[in-house]
Amino acid sequence: MMGKLLKIFRALWGVIDSVRRFAVNFMLLAMVAMVIAVLLRPGPTVPDGAALIVHPTGELVEQTTFDPSFAFLASGGQESPQTALASLLDAVRAARDDARIKLLVLETDEIDAAGLSKLGELRAAIADFKASGKPVLARGEKFMQGQYYLASIADEVHLAPDGIVLLPGLARFSTYFRNAFDKLGIKVHVFRVGEYKSFAEPFTRSDMSDEDREATRSLLDGLWTRVRAEIAAARKLPPEKLDSYVLHYLDALKAAAGNASQAAQSAGLIDRFSTREQWRARIKERLGDASAGQDFRHIGADAYLAAIRHKRPAAARNIAVLVAQGTIADGEQPPGVTGGDSFARLIREARENPRVDAIVIRIDSPGGSAWASEIIRHELELTRQAGKPVIASMSSLAASGGYWIATGADEIFAEPSTITGSIGIFALFPEFSEPFGKLGLTVDGVATAPLAGAFDPRRPLDPEAAETLQLGIEHGYKRFLDIVAKARKMKPEEVDRIARGRVWSGAQAAEAGLVDHIGGIGAALEAAAKRANLDQYRVVWPTPHVPPLRMLMRQLLSASAHDDALAPSPASRAVEQLTADLKSLTLWNDPRHIYAHCLCETP
């Protein structure tokens, strides 16, 4: 009997082994076939008399990232979509002078998130395209505020007949955990310098402090004034008419008998209503396309870049753009997080590369670890000492630690709507001794010195340890002031007056002397080229290393994933924000527990 069972088992194992071999060989053949297909696939061509389609999807970012975990496997490889701002800027600027491109078509419905400065930079590039005499048409099924801000630069703005243009203004609301922590018995000790350094307040307060309210109001008023003026100018509207729509939207809706699209047209915000079929017909009309059928000559931004890049003459001189995106954390970090060691290595490789003549550091970060920020700043300083120019280009957010690393540059550029400043540092220490006591848990032991075990969150924070942290924070703030003062050629006390954790817009920062120039990535590249004496150059974008197998797995899974994911509901957005607020704490790994981070992201 035992012999028969062994025979059955061996036969079954043989079948399983054959299936395994087949599956492995099939996957290998599929990968080879994909590689051959990519190599043999002809490159895209630009039709003569075509429309360039600019259709950003998902979040507008400086550099697309990979999910740092394999969590995307559980979702069939579907990651949150992202669109690189640099690719769109490159496509729009190249199309401006390309005789084959007759028209720019802007479709905004799938923009999920984008900072005002990113939208402003893309908007400026489209305005430059329009100034060449080529028309720009924009359409939305509906327009949220950022989408409309971008679309408003077009010659014609189309809205779906049942659409809406929603312009609520700017706001910043935070979740405050103090009451919940009190119920749980959790204490959060905060050590900081600067009355405007508000990042820790959600963990220690139940409402916004007066200082944070004052600074936030000033920031949002300045940003909204600019957005309002740019929309009004593009639409040739008196600012007061736009104000009426924003401040009295209910009245505008009542006057239109509840018809949101009619209210938007009456306010002068759109030019035409169009269904999707009418939209395509209008594009054909503006192109002068008399061909049969509803399609028209067009090319997408990505395909357009692929078509023109291989025809551009290679340049012997390079400017490297290094993107510092996301929270600044100590050590090696994946794309999407600026690691002190991993980003410093990128800088060092660019400095030691004889083909790189200058560096532009593109910053889109709220800050984070003060230790990691200083490692990055010092690496930039070494690059300048080695004779290679360094230019800082601020994107939507370059605050606190983000500003710290910018001081390592020869010049700092910012967009008017950039959020920057927040010069200050803090430390947080959570204490869980009370929840442990409620659970009947006790902590006991011995130590060889007063500070040994003093920073154990299971035990009450020792007063001597608390004083140690506060002294370290005060020294760290003085160090931050000295770094800024040296870089900006100011006295520390002058920096202190505009520091103390206060956040500024790019325009305000320029007036205060924290920024050298107002301008985007293009202006920063020109400044780098001028300092490096380059007439012609190529822009390269070095990225952190991603293992090839992981990249291949992502591509294979993404290719098979569905692209019909539902937009997140308001409830899911709230849960995601709460989760993100708490999850961000996991990136706080500064070896001294000292942070230069701002609570200043603005939707």
pLDDT-derived band at 42 (thresholds 50, 70, 90) equals low
pLDDT tens for 476-490 read 899 999 999 999 999
More confident residue, 138 or 296: 138
- Find the catalytic residue in 197, 198, 342, 395: 197
What is d(CA 272, CA 36) in angstroms, rounded to the nearest whole number?
A: 47
Beta strands, E only, 108-178: 111-113, 136-140, 156-159
What region, left, alpha or beta, does residue 489 occupy, with left being phi > 0 and alpha being psi -120 to 50 degrees?
left
Quick one: average pLDDT of 62-87?
Answer: 64
Q: Is 595 helix (H, G, I), strand (E, B) or coil?
A: strand
What is d(CA 517, CA 481) in angstroms, rounded to the nearest whole number?
A: 21
User: Is residue 400 flagged as an active site residue?
Assistant: yes
Two domains, one topology: 50-171+210-309 and 318-424+461-559: yes
What is d(CA 319, CA 71) in angstroms, rounded to the nearest whole number?
A: 35
Closest Cα to residue 89, out of 539, 587, 567, 591? 539
Query: Are 540 and 319 in contact, with CB atoms under 8 Å apart?
Result: yes
Per cent of the chain over pLDDT 90 is 59
Residue-level pLDDT at 41 = 55
pLDDT-derived band at 454 (thresholds 50, 70, 90) equals confident
pLDDT for residue 346 is more than 80: yes
pLDDT for residue 436 is more than 90: no
Closest Cα to residue 222, out of 414, 513, 496, 506? 506
Beta strands, E only, 153-301: 156-159, 187-192, 272-273, 298-300
More confident residue, 405 or 195: 405
pLDDT-derived band at 23 (thresholds 50, 70, 90) equals low
- Find the catalytic residue in 152, 198, 365, 400: 400
Q: Chain-wide mean pLDDT for the chain?
A: 85
What is d(CA 517, CA 510) in angstroms, rounded to the nearest whole number?
A: 7
More confident residue, 489 or 290: 489
Residue-level pLDDT at 72 = 41
Query: Are 143 and 165 in contact, with CB atoms under 8 Å apart?
Result: yes
Residue-level pLDDT at 557 = 42
Architecture field, domain 318-424+461-559: Alpha-Beta Complex (3.90)
**CATH T-level fold of 50-171+210-309:** 2-enoyl-CoA Hydratase; Chain A, domain 1 (3.90.226)
pLDDT for residue 431 is more than 60: yes
pLDDT for residue 9 is more than 90: no
Residue-level pLDDT at 217 = 93
Rounded alpha-carbon distances, angstroms, from residue 58 to 110, 114, 285, 567: 6, 9, 30, 10
pLDDT-derived band at 30 (thresholds 50, 70, 90) equals low
Quick one: average pLDDT of 189-210?
Answer: 84
Written as six digits, the tokens of 102 are: 């007759």
pLDDT for residue 363 is more than 60: yes
pTM > 0.85: no
More confident residue, 574 or 29: 29
- Any idea where the domains of the chain sit in the sequence? 7-41, 50-171+210-309, 318-424+461-559
pLDDT for residue 545 is more than 70: no
User: Is residue 197 flagged as an active site residue?
Assistant: yes
